[in-house]
Amino acid sequence: MYLSPETYYAIIVLCFDSQSIHGKLLNIMAGEDYIKIRINSIHQTIATTFDVFVQLNNRHVLYLRAGATLTKEKVEKFEKLNADVFYIKSDDRQNYKDYVHDCLNRGELKTKEKAIILKESTFSLVEELFETPDVQVAMNESRDVVNNIVDFLQTEDEAVTQMIGLSSHDFYTYNHSLDVSIYCVGLAQKLGYNDEKELQEIGMGGLLHDIGKRYVRTEVITKKGGLDEDEWEEMKQHPVFGLKVLSENANMTDNIKACCFEHHENFSGGGYPRDLTGQDIHPMARICAVADCYDALTTKRSYSEPMSPSAALSLMKDRLHKKFDPDFFKAMHEILFKMEL
Ligand SMILES: [Fe+2]
Ligand SMILES: [Fe+2]
């Protein structure tokens, strides 16, 4: 029986979820299927429904049994272990997702506690977007991440402020992507977007805007200082590479693709890849451009210290303002400082 490439791919997607693929990688390393999690995604007063392991000498050792809570002693033990990554069995992936969902819906938890759980729980999946061989499966999984972000930002007052307050201080592409996604949803809400589907699309667009960087050489991505002409040309291809990979996934809408393809276009021209201007740039890409620049300026790189929010906004206003839609930039300022420009 002949199978077209599309059918063959669909069968692969149906047969293997991202964890089994990701798990296979860990399997080679550790002999069993485990998923990385961050311990701060577990709330100290809420018992887990899954075992949590720590990796010692290439073996997974039980750290917290299902049904147990993260006591003070456990936290101290974890500090002694000096571990920052923990593991759960891949079979428990859905239990972990349900646990996070339950925490986010608990009335007794403070908004800040929920913001921490949400952000820490999404970290591993976003990391997978840039590290697993099968980006398409990771992209499909990322919809759950964005759904949680949109729900949280819609239902909790002060949620945007709390999430922004947790901005990552180190620049890794996956931290950056998650932050840009959060900013995009917050900014879209501020601009009056209230359709759930559109908010999810802008959240996905922010999360995936730099997905094309997977196909730019690592030495170009991580190079300190300026890029030479060839390297810069390669870097400038990332929106094109991104559009290509998104177009291979039937779940990616035109709005999501526009965020990726047009986030380096400038409002007054001179951007790439098409040198569009003004209203010709998709509005979601204009939102993404503001969020992207702000996050890039306020996070730490290996070669520069982060700027404060006010310094970043001043620089954007004084020297970069032509890049952005003025109304969208004003809205970003209002979110961050809750005051008029
Ligand atoms: Fe980019
Ligand atoms: Fe970016």
pLDDT of 252-287, one tens digit each? 999 999 999 999 999 999 999 999 999 999 999 999
Distance CA 259, CA 245 (A): 13
Q: Which of 10-14, 82-86, 124-128, 156-160 has the lowest mean pLDDT?
A: 10-14
Spacing, Cα 176 to ligand 2 middle (Å): 7
pLDDT of residue 1: 39
**Residue 292: pLDDT band by 50, 70, 90 thresholds?**
very high
Placement of tokens 């428990």 in the chain: 92
Q: In this structure, are residues 100 and 48 in contact, taking their beta carbons and an 8 Å threshold?
A: no
Is residue 3 pLDDT above 60, yes or no? no
Q: In this structure, are residues 197 and 147 in contact, taking their beta carbons and an 8 Å threshold?
A: no
pLDDT of residue 213: 92
Give the closest ligand to the alpha carbon of residue 293. Answer: 2
More confident residue, 171 or 45: 45
Spacing, Cα 244 to ligand 2 middle (Å): 17
Pair of tokens at residue 44:
């100290």
pLDDT of residue 240: 97
pLDDT of residue 13: 29
Spacing, Cα 263 to ligand 1 middle (Å): 7
**Residue 136: pLDDT band by 50, 70, 90 thresholds?**
confident
pLDDT of residue 122: 87
Distance CA 208, CA 282 (A): 16
**Residue 125: pLDDT band by 50, 70, 90 thresholds?**
confident
pLDDT of residue 169: 58
Spacing, Cα 263 to ligand 2 middle (Å): 8
Per-residue buried b or exposed e for 309-335, using 16+ beta carbons within 10 Å of the residue's own CB = beebbeebeeeeeebbbeebbbbbbeb
pLDDT tens, residue by residue, 31-87: 468 988 988 899 989 999 999 998 888 888 899 999 999 888 887 877 777 666 899
Spacing, Cα 333 to ligand 1 middle (Å): 21
Placement of tokens 């970290």 in the chain: 123
Is residue 150 pLDDT above 50, yes or no? yes
Spacing, Cα 292 to ligand 2 middle (Å): 5
Spacing, Cα 261 to ligand 1 middle (Å): 9
Alpha carbons within 13 angstroms on the beta-carbon side of residue 191 total 25
Q: In this structure, are residues 261 and 269 in contact, taking their beta carbons and an 8 Å threshold?
A: no
Average pLDDT, the chain: 84
Q: Which of 156-160, 196-200, 238-242 has the lowest mean pLDDT?
A: 156-160
Spacing, Cα 231 to ligand 2 middle (Å): 17
Give the closest ligand to the alpha carbon of residue 295. Answer: 2
N-term to C-term CA, the chain = 65
